[in-house]
Each structure stands twice: as C-alpha cells, then as structure tokens.
Chain A
Amino acid sequence: MLEGIWSGVTVAAQPINLLMVMVGCFAGTFIGMLPGLGPISAIALMIPITYGFDPATGLILMAGVYYGAIFGGSTSSILINAPGVAGTVATSFDGYPMAKAGNAGKALAIAAYSSFSGGTIAAIFLLIAAPALARVSLSFQSTDYFALMVLGLTAVAAFAGKGNLIKALLMTILGLMLSTVGTDQAQGVPRFTLGMLDLIDGISFLLLAMATFALSEALMAVLRPKSPEDQKKELEAQKNLGSMKLSKDEVKEMAPVVGRSSVLGFFVGVLPGAGATIASFLAYGIEQRIAGPIKGKLFGKGSIRGLSAPETANNAASSGSFVPLLTLGIPGSGTTAIMLGALLSYGVQPGPRLFIDNPEVFWSVIISMYIGNVILLILNLPLIPYIARVLALPAAVLVPYILFFSLIGVYFVSFNTFDIHLMVIFAVAAVVLRLLDFPMAPMLLGFILGGMMEENLRRALIISNDSWAFMWERPLTASILAIAILILFVPILTPQLGKLKRKADEKAAEGG
C-alpha cells in the first residue's frame, strides 16, 4: 500500500498534474458558481479537453473540477441564494442569511474551511477504504456486478426525494433504453438505429451528458429569466463581502461539527445513489437536533453550525462517492457516472482491476484530492472576491458561450454534424422533462450502467447455463438484490407505515 501511495504521490506531483489540479479547481469554481450549472456540466465541458491526456492526468483534472464546482456552488448559494448544485442547497439555509447580515466574507471563509476539512478527512478514509474494498471485490463475479448495478440504479431512484420515486425509475428506464441504441455488442445486431449509419455505434455518452445537462440547463436559464430585483441583490452581495477572518470561538464551535459531518458525509457518499445532497441535508438535520434549544434556534438565521455541517458533509460525500467508482467500477452519483464515461473513453476500466492494472491512476487520483483541497483553500479563498464577478456576467453573453462550448465539445470529438442536431433534440426533450420535474441524473446513470448491466447479465446467464437461478442461488448476489429491493420499497412503505401508526394511535386514544 505504501508503495502505491508513493507512486500516487510521484504521479500527482508531476508539474502537469499539479497544473491540472489547479486548473480543475479554478475552472470548477468558475463554472459551479454559475447558477444552473453544476459539477456534471462542469466535468462534461472538460471531457473534450482531456481526450489527449493520459488517464491519470484527465481524472486528476476532473476531480479538481468536481471539488471546485461544489465550492463554486457554495459561493453562489451564500452570495445570491442560488445554489448552482443540489448539494449546496443546505448551505444557503444559513450562508445566505449570514451574507445578508453583512458577513458574506465570514460565511465564505467558514464554507471554505469546512469544505477543506471535510474533503481532507474523507480523503484519508478513502485511502483506507478503497484498497480494502478493491481487494474484496476481486472475488466478485458477473452475477454480483449485475446485482450491484441494480442496487446502484434503485438507490438513485429511492433517494430521488419524496414523491419522485416513480419519476426517477422512469428516467432510469429511459436511460437504460437509450443505452441499447446501436450495435448489440454480443450478437452484432443493430438495434434502434432507424436505418441511420450515424447511430450504428450508439449514442455518445458525452453527447447525452452535454445535451441533457449543460445545454438544457442553459436553455432552462433562458426560460426562467431573473427578475431585476434579484440581479440588484446579487450585485450588492458581491460588493460587500466583509471580513473573511474567523474568531477563536467560531473555530471552536466549528471543530466538532466538522468532525461529525466528515464521517457522516463520507459514509453517505459511499452509498450508491446517495451523494452530496443527501449528505448535506442529513448533516444539517443532525446538527440542528443536537445543537440544543438555544443554538438550535439560530439555524436558518445564520448559524455557524448550520453552515459548516452541510459544507463539510457535501465535500466528504464527494470523496466518498469515488469509493464505488474506483473499486467496483459502479458510479454512485451522476457526477461519478460522467467520470466513469470519461475513464472508459480513455480505455481504462474502473473496478477492482484498476487497483492492479493501473495503480498510478488509482493512487494519483486519491493523492490529488489532498492537493485539490489545499489548492481550493489557498488559491480560491483569496480569489473569491474576483471570481465572484463571474456572477455579474450578463446572461446575453453567457448563454451563447455555454451553448457554443457544449456543441463544439461534442463536435470536436466526432467531427460529425449529425451529433450537433442530435444534441439539440436531446436538449429540447430534457427541457420538457425538466419543466415537468423529472430528474436527469437517474437517466444518465441508467445510460452509463445499461451496457455494462446487459453484458454482465448475459455473461451470468452463460455461466449458469441459461438459468436465471443465479439470482437467488449465489448468496452474495441474492443479498445485494435483496438490499436493492428493500431500498426500493422503503420510500413506498414508510409513509404507509406512518399512516397505520397514526391510525393505531388515534384508535388507542379514542379507546383510552
């Protein structure tokens, strides 16, 4: 392991990789700060640039962009109450009131220190957990992988939020369907190509990601323009940042919150489908509950704990979500799904073999997370007042740029103009589905996992002589599938159980 860490340090410390972490953190902060654009769009925009890089460098850049985008999202949450990322919604609960009270600088500093601590502590956990899980997962078979992917997809749907389970499942199925377009890998039969040669290789992952995230988010911003009042508020927050220094008491108050939220965030991040959003809300809720009546009342009005907890947890969860990606090859979130797509395009197969076949990729990514966190703290924090000016860029200039970079990013990979037209079709479809509140991340995850799921299922059936019994005969597969079913039914059963309990309580009260 020490040898691996050392090789990771050597790769991550190469000047080009250090430069990439810096560029990634900076670009991620810049893009993540733009309302509507999150880490998925930020990474998608970076993929075409990284095609010429070696896998370690490309992934290091994307990891930097990921952290940067989350940090950038916090900044727009705090300054203008417009989280660029779902994972930073909870940050705005206390960050924005703090900024409104004239302490925007302090709020940004708390967010930066909390993000740094959460990311660094979680990276230590990742250092221990990832190799251990990679070793265990070497014994996994096709059947287990198939079950794990089912678990990943059901978990994403289950964590989609109250009332969104069916919608998320529908979007997952849509993603799985889109993944079947093109030539069937095993039998060489064209599927859903509609006689078009351009579709014979299937739909490009980058095209789908760009169209459904970057393009559709930009178009959504055009659909819902900001009011002049909001624009005025934004300008005021950017001008009056205030001091960024924290007092000793404030640091003392933050320290235990950071410790608790880091652990919580990391473990929530490891769960497939949970990710930074769930982690930040959970951390916020827990801190509010244990804060006591006096401190608890400050939550939502500019509490230091209320800002520090979600910020720590979302960064820790971001590191945690790399565990299933690097060790099992299964993305735990939309963002890691896009990274998986990028890795596959470099010819690197994430999973337990990554640890053995490409140790330099495995370790350098983990080491670059430390470096990324340090860079975010020392580079981005002092630069925030300047980077925040991006928020003042008029939409009239910004939107055409985003559209251009999204289109050209995909076009420069294939040099096929059909891709541009296909992107427009997908973007329009995504805008319609977004207007109807259908989530996009499960669709992307379904698309990424679709091909792998079909391949593993087919292999499992060949191994078990065309018998479907492998699903319940192999204990590990059966256990994972059982967990998947359980996760899927928990959101359906919980409200029903609650209703039954209330009825029983009412009856008992009437009887009493």
Chain B
Amino acid sequence: MSRDRVGALILLVFFVAYGYVSTKITLLPFQLNQAFTARTAPQFLTVAGIVLALFLLVKPGDPRPVDTKGMTFTRIALLCGLMIFYGFTVRFLGFLIATNIFLIGGFWVMGERRLLVMLGASLPVVVGFWLLMTQALDVFVAPWPDFLS
C-alpha cells in the first residue's frame, strides 16, 4: 500500500473516533438551540477530515510504498520505553537518580558501552543542570527520593 494511503487510513480512523467522541460532548439544555455550540467546531472538523482522508485514500498523490529498509525500530522502542520509565521514576526516585538512569540507559541503547564515558557524560550534566535550576533559576526540583529527603 502506498504511504499516502497508509497515512490517510490512520488519520481516517482517528477522525472517525474523534467524531464519535464529539457526539458525547455534554451540552446544557439552553445551549442546544444556539448556532454555535461546543460541538460545532469538532463536528465540522470531523466532516472535513473524513472527506479529505477519503479523497487521499482514493487518489493518493505519492505512489511510493512505505520504505523502512535499514531502519532500527528496536532502538526507538527502547528509547520510548526509557522515556516512559523516566516518567514513572522522576518523582519516585528523585531527579538526580532517575535522570542519571535515563541518560546512562539512553547512551547504552545508542550503542555506547564504556562505563566511564557514560558516567562522565551523565553525572556532571545532571548535577550541573540541577544546580542551575535550583540555585540560579530558583526552581525547586526534588533531588532524592521522598524517603531520603
């Protein structure tokens, strides 16, 4: 399938779902008869989106198929996993520990294996950044886990 068609199909599914959810927007009784309600713009956008997506699906401009040759999806998946993990740990472990784990993990995923390089590129940057935020810009960032502070 051409890349335009794949894209159009993905967007079409999104637009249909968006349109469905737009029918669930709660309106108060006095708002129902107004010319412009909270549903008006979403429903107009749904119709416009579906029409255009169908048009692209029927008449794709770019006939080339999706080209994923030589692409490293495993790394992307691991990096995304790391980011999600960071989201869960930045509060729980505190900024300093969570960020160092994230950066060192990131270097490792990207192919770096030298521990000294990884620590050297992570520790000073994280500590320096934390000092900049807390001391220079006066933004409080919890450095350690709650049970240590």
| A427 CB-CB contact with B under 8 Å | yes
Chain A contacts of B21 at CB under 8 A? 192, 194
| Residues B110 and A170 in contact, CB atoms below 8 Å apart | no
Per-residue CB contact flags for chain A residues 147-175 toward chain B (1 = under 8 Å, else 0) read 00000000000000001101101100110
| Residues A174 and B49 in contact, CB atoms below 8 Å apart | yes
Chain B contacts of A407 at CB under 8 A? 83, 86-87
Chain B contacts of A433 at CB under 8 A? 7, 10
CA distance A163 to B62 in the complex (A): 7
Nearest A residue to B42 by beta-carbon distance? Answer: A180
| A294 CB-CB contact with B under 8 Å | no
Task: Give how many A residues have a beta carbon under 8 Å from the other chain's beta carbons.
Answer: 59
Nearest B residue to A169 by beta-carbon distance? Answer: B52
| Residues B133 and A412 in contact, CB atoms below 8 Å apart | yes
| Residues B76 and A170 in contact, CB atoms below 8 Å apart | no
| A476 CB-CB contact with B under 8 Å | no
CA distance A396 to B48 in the complex (A): 43
CA distance A53 to B61 in the complex (A): 46
Nearest A residue to B90 by beta-carbon distance? Answer: A417
Contact pick for A189, options B26, B35, B90, B103, CB 8 Å: B26
**Given the contacts A180-B45, A187-B31, A396-B112, A222 and B61 also touching, CB distance less than 8 Å:** no
Contact pick for A177, options B6, B31, B45, B107, CB 8 Å: B45
CA distance A94 to B10 in the complex (A): 39
| B123 CB-CB contact with A under 8 Å | no
- Shortest A461–chain B CB gap in Å is 5
| A483 CB-CB contact with B under 8 Å | no
Interface residues of B in 117-149 (CB under 8 A from A): 121, 125, 129, 133, 137-139, 141
Chain A contacts of B96 at CB under 8 A? none
CA distance A224 to B76 in the complex (A): 11
**Given the contacts A225-B72, A431-B76, A438 and B7 also touching, CB distance less than 8 Å:** yes
- Shortest A281–chain B CB gap in Å is 20
| Residues A461 and B61 in contact, CB atoms below 8 Å apart | no
Per-residue CB contact flags for chain A residues 429-449 toward chain B (1 = under 8 Å, else 0) read 001110111100000000000
Nearest B residue to A457 by beta-carbon distance? Answer: B36
Interface residues of B in 6-41 (CB under 8 A from A): 6-8, 10-11, 14-15, 18, 21-22, 25-28, 31, 34-38, 41
| Residues B37 and A436 in contact, CB atoms below 8 Å apart | no
Given contacts A224-B71, A396-B111, 15 further A-B contacts (CB under 8 A): A163-B61, A170-B11, A170-B49, A173-B48, A176-B41, A222-B79, A223-B75, A397-B107, A400-B79, A400-B107, A412-B141, A417-B87, A420-B87, A420-B90, A436-B4
Which residue numbers of A lie inside 8 Å of B, CB to CB? 49, 52, 163-164, 166-167, 169-170, 173-174, 176-177, 180, 184, 186-187, 189-192, 194, 219, 222-225, 394-397, 399-401, 403-404, 407-408, 411-412, 417-418, 420-421, 423-424, 427-428, 431-433, 435-438, 454, 457-458, 461, 466
Q: Which 10 A-B pairs have the closest CB atoms?
A: A400-B106, A420-B87, A466-B35, A163-B61, A396-B110, A436-B7, A184-B38, A396-B112, A189-B38, A173-B49
Offer 15 A-B interface pairs, CB within 8 angstroms, sorted by A: A52-B137, A167-B7, A167-B56, A174-B11, A174-B14, A177-B42, A223-B75, A397-B107, A399-B79, A399-B106, A400-B107, A412-B141, A421-B87, A437-B62, A461-B35
